[in-house]
Structure 1
Amino acid sequence: MTDFQAIADRFEIEALRGEFTDARMMDDYDRLVSLFTPDGGLRIPDAGVRFDSREEIRAGTARLRDLWEFFLQTTHPGVIQVDGDTAVGRAYLQESGRLGDGRSHSNYGVYHDTYRRTPDGWRFTLRVYEIKYYDHSPLTGSTSYSGIAVPAGSDG
């Protein structure tokens, strides 16, 4: 493998991870499942979640979304180790949200990933989410800027 190919692979995998977060935040479940191999899996052991196919991921993530009043996730780069047409990596994340029943959720975690090169590019074969820190303190904020005064002359 050339140095250029290794750089390209790492770049494409990082873009895949960003695409996952964007699809999740935009509730685009068709795009989200397209990021997995047909036999790909998504697991959140701490929440008892295990999806073992694109169909399960599609139905399960949509069902989980329906539980939330709002949900925010930011993902940060981690490590990527490429070995030919497969790779492993970790990405770090922070999530905050409020469930429909009013309970709040804020946590920091890590995705443990495995990837495979496909004719459509790099895809997840398995994404396992490990929660490292959890806080259920009430989130008292709002999902809108209602009531915030914007100074005169600003573009805000």
Structure 2
Amino acid sequence: MLSLQEISDRLEIQDLMVRYSHAVDTKQWDLLDEVFTADAHIDYSAMGGAVGDVASTKAFLAQMLPNFPAFQHLISNSSITVDGDTATGRTMCHNPMLVSNGDGQQRIMFCGLWYLDTFARIDDQWRIARRIEEKSYMYLTPPTPGMG
């Protein structure tokens, strides 16, 4: 049976993951400073992205994501293990992204991945200390005339 503290910790970590998705999907890069630890290591390389710290991740996202007219990070199926002031998690992410072609047609790129996270409680707040993406799939739909 889970203790009330572990239930609270798990809910706080799930909320942290939602705040990450919200920050990215609304392009509010500075909110990521409240999601990650100051010395976090972030590895998006499995899906073709950057590897680095919070500052370089924010710069990468700010440069790359404006190329997509729309996108969403849908997270679920979190498996979280709490051990005092640290925790680990594996969370599924479904990330559809709209891709515009130069000829006015649009396509959807479906990205399926898992976030492999290490969390740390700092000053009574959970933060992501390490995030590694694990690729499941990437699929680009054929161009659709009139979509857009």
Place the TM-score, normalised by the shorter chain, in its bin. 0.7 to 0.9
Q: Is the 8 A contact 1:51 1:60 kept in 2?
A: no
Q: Distance in 2 between matches of 1:36 and 1:120?
A: 14
Judging changes above 3 Å, is the alpha-carbon distance between structure 1 residues 135 and 10 closer, same or farther for their aligned structure 2 residues? Answer: same
Judging changes above 3 Å, is the alpha-carbon distance between structure 1 residues 98 and 138 closer, same or farther for their aligned structure 2 residues? Answer: farther
Judging changes above 3 Å, is the alpha-carbon distance between structure 1 residues 43 and 64 closer, same or farther for their aligned structure 2 residues? Answer: same
1:111 aligns with 2:115: yes
Report how far residue 53 of structure 1 moved.
1.9
Aligned-residue identity in percent: 28
Larger radius of gyration: 1
Q: Distance in 2 between matches of 1:51 and 1:126?
A: 11
1:91 aligns with 2:91: yes
| Residue from 105, 129, 134 that aligns with 2:133 | 129
Q: Distance in 2 between matches of 1:87 and 1:136?
A: 34
Q: Give the 4+ runs in structure 1 shifted more than 6 A.
A: none
Judging changes above 3 Å, is the alpha-carbon distance between structure 1 residues 118 and 112 closer, same or farther for their aligned structure 2 residues? Answer: same
Consecutive unaligned residues of structure 2, counting only runs of 5 or more, are none
The match for 1:11 is 11
1:56 aligns with 2:56: yes
Q: Equivalent residues in 2 for 1:41-80 (5 A)?
A: 41-80=41-80
Report how far residue 142 of structure 1 moved.
5.5
Superimposed CA distance per residue, residues 77-117 of structure 1 (whole angstroms, 9 cap, x where no aligned partner): 31000111111001111111123445641122111111000
Aligned residues: 142
Consecutive unaligned residues of structure 1, counting only runs of 5 or more, are 144-156
Q: Distance in 2 between matches of 1:134 and 1:109?
A: 9
Partner SS state of residue 61, structure 1: helix
Report how far residue 20 of structure 1 moved.
0.7
Superimposed CA distance per residue, residues 61-87 of structure 1 (whole angstroms, 9 cap, x where no aligned partner): 111212212222211131000111111
Q: Is the 8 A contact 1:97 1:106 kept in 2?
A: yes
CA RMSD of aligned residues (A): 2.2
